[in-house]
């Protein structure tokens, strides 16, 4: 634990992940699609934003809470849906969810998680959301939604930016797939990282637990993006969305939105909130960054509709900037998964680093509460 206490940033955990994971696995987590233009823009566009702090305000007790619908969350953090987490460490999904739950942070389970809907619900008492990839078989989509409903997931997150799997060149070169089909290169990488290899052998080879039997021939050496992409419903349209909205009686977020007209149309069609995302730079390469897309979407939706944002968030200051531009909450994916290389304690440390950074940032910005952040904070 003392060693983790010396970790002071998400970037420290990224470097830890680079050391502890085989190169192919690290590049699967860390990389993006194509030339990684969008991946780079996600960070660059956060970094160019400048703040104008206020002074002589009482910031002795910074309030990190935020409101989503009629619910108050203790922090403006959410965990993004992530597939294939067990490639980093067996049980990583549950480790992330437990660390999040202890801080009142919602955890979003991916359709392509390596932990099932049922197992996650039994393992974690905190707020759980379920993310749906819209697959070709609508009967199977309905089964997934009903399973999430049965096991108490409070919010459905429908992802709409995965009409096909992004062309992730690093994964194509590295041959990362689920189930893993070890090549001589992978075996050499595994020998160079014995701790990772032993944990994987003890935990068993990861599988997409929620779609067992659905993805077809798993003997074919497709990359993860290609295998998922080949089963997605590329014809997903507005009628299909309304169908899913009719299935789900609880709160529904739509994830993967970058255009303000789409955002407004989705709310008109029944979405309860919009999740601004370019999939962490893993889908359309050359897409606008999420933080650059955010202001126009907030303007299109007005002040009442909840907006979440992900893609490129690495610091508490990023979350404050997102709040100033209109986000109700910010979601992290890679940052939590980097922490999971050190197990649940590593994830907990990442979350605490971010929360401490938000609290400190609010003080230095002269803003007593996250909910009071507005565009006047932006230069």
Q: Where are the domains of the chain?
A: 2-271+282-305+319-377
Q: Residue 331: left if φ>0, alpha if ψ -120 to 50, beta else—which one? A: beta
pLDDT on residue 222: 46
Instruction: Could you list the residues known to form a binding site for glyoxylate, using ranges.
Output: 133, 168, 279, 282
Catalytic residue among 186, 233, 259, 279: 279
User: What is the sign, positive or negative, of the torsion defined by CA atoms of 133, 139, 142, 147?
Assistant: negative
> Is there a contact between 290 and 312 (Cβ–Cβ < 8 Å)?
yes
What does the alpha-carbon distance between residue 165 and residue 223 come to, in Å, rounded to a whole number? 10
Tens-place pLDDT, residues 139-193: 999 999 999 999 999 999 999 999 888 899 988 888 876 666 777 788 888 888 8
pLDDT on residue 188: 87
- State how far the alpha carbon of 182 is from the alpha carbons of 174, 189, 198, 212, 313, in Å: 10, 10, 15, 21, 32
Residue from 96, 99, 106, 121 nearest 74 by CA: 106
DSSP codes joined into one string, 225-269: HHHHHTTB-TT--HHHHHHHHHH--SEEEEEEE--HHHHHHHHHT
Instruction: Could you list the residues known to form a binding site for FMN, using ranges.
Output: 81-83, 110, 131, 159, 255, 277, 310-314, 333-334
Give rounded-to-5 percent helix, strand, coil for the chain: 45, 10, 40
Angle at 301 between CA 295 and CA 303, to 5 degrees: 85
Instruction: Could you list the residues known to form a binding site, using ranges.
Output: 81-83, 110, 131, 133, 159, 168, 255, 277, 279, 282, 310-314, 333-334
Phi, psi of 82 (to 5 degrees): -140, 130
pLDDT on residue 224: 54
What SS3 class is residue 102?
A: coil
Is 299 a known active-site residue?
Answer: no
Q: Which ranges of 102-259 would DSSP assign to H, the alpha helix? A: 117-123, 138-150, 169-174, 184-192, 194-203, 224-229, 238-247
What does the alpha-carbon distance between residue 94 and residue 114 come to, in Å, rounded to a whole number? 10
Could you say which residues of the chain have pLDDT below 50? 217-222
Long-range pairs for 65-71: beta carbons < 8 A, 24 or more residues apart: 65/369, 65/370, 65/371, 66/323, 66/328, 66/329, 66/370, 66/371, 67/306, 67/328, 67/371, 68/273, 68/306, 68/328, 68/329, 69/251, 69/272, 69/273, 69/306
> Is there a contact between 1 and 345 (Cβ–Cβ < 8 Å)?
yes
Is this prediction's pTM over 0.75?
yes
Looking at domain 2-271+282-305+319-377, does it have CATH number 3.40.50.2300? no
pLDDT on residue 232: 84
Instruction: List the structure tokens of 173.
Output: 């070169």
Which helix (H) or strand (E) is 131 found in, with range?
strand 128-133
pLDDT on residue 221: 43
pLDDT on residue 72: 96
Instruction: List the structure tokens of 178.
Output: 């689920």
Which neighbouring-strand residues pair with 51?
378
What does the alpha-carbon distance between residue 360 and residue 105 come to, in Å, rounded to a whole number? 19
């Amino acid at each position: 634990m003392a060693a983790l206490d010396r970790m002071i940033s998400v970037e420290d955990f990224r470097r830890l992940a680079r050391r502890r994971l085989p190169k192919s696995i690290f590049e699967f987590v860390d990389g993006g699609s194509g030339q990684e233009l969008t991946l780079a823009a996600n960070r660059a566009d956060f970094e160019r934003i400048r703040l104008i702090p206020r002074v002589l305000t009482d910031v002795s007790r910074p309030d990190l809470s935020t409101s989503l619908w009629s619910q108050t969350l203790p922090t403006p953090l959410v965990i993004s849906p992530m597939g294939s987490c067990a490639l980093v460490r067996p049980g990583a999904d549950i480790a992330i969810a437990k660390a999040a739950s202890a801080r009142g942070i919602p955890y979003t389970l991916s359709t392509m998680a390596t932990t099932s809907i049922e197992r996650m619900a039994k393992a974690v008492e905190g707020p759980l959301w379920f993310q749906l990839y819209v697959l070709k078989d609508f009967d199977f989509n309905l089964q997934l939604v009903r399973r999430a409903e049965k096991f108490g997931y409070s919010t459905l997150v429908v992802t709409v930016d995965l009409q096909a799997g992004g062309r992730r060149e690093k994964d194509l070169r590295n041959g990362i797939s689920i189930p893993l089909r070890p090549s001589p290169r992978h075996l050499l990488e595994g020998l160079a990282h014995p701790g990772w290899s032993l944990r994987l052998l003890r935990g068993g080879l990861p599988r997409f637990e929620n779609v067992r039997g659905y993805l077809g021939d798993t003997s074919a050496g497709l990359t993860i993006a290609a295998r998922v992409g080949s089963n997605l419903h590329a014809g997903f349209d507005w009628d299909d969305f309304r169908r899913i909205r009719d299935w789900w009686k609880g709160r529904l977020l739509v994830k993967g939105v970058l255009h303000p007209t789409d955002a407004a149309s989705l709310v008109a069609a029944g979405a309860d909130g919009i999740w601004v995302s370019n999939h962490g730079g893993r889908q359309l390469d050359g897409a606008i960054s999420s933080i650059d897309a955010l202001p126009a979407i907030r303007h299109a939706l007005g002040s009442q509709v909840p907006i979440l944002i992900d893609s490129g968030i690495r610091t508490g200051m990023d979350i404050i900037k997102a709040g100033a531009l209109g986000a109700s909450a910010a979601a992290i994916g890679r940052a939590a998964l980097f922490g999971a290389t050190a197990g649940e304690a590593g994830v907990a440390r990442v979350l605490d680093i971010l929360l401490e950074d938000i609290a400190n940032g609010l003080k230095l910005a002269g803003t007593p509460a996250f909910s009071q952040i507005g565009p006047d904070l932006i230069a």
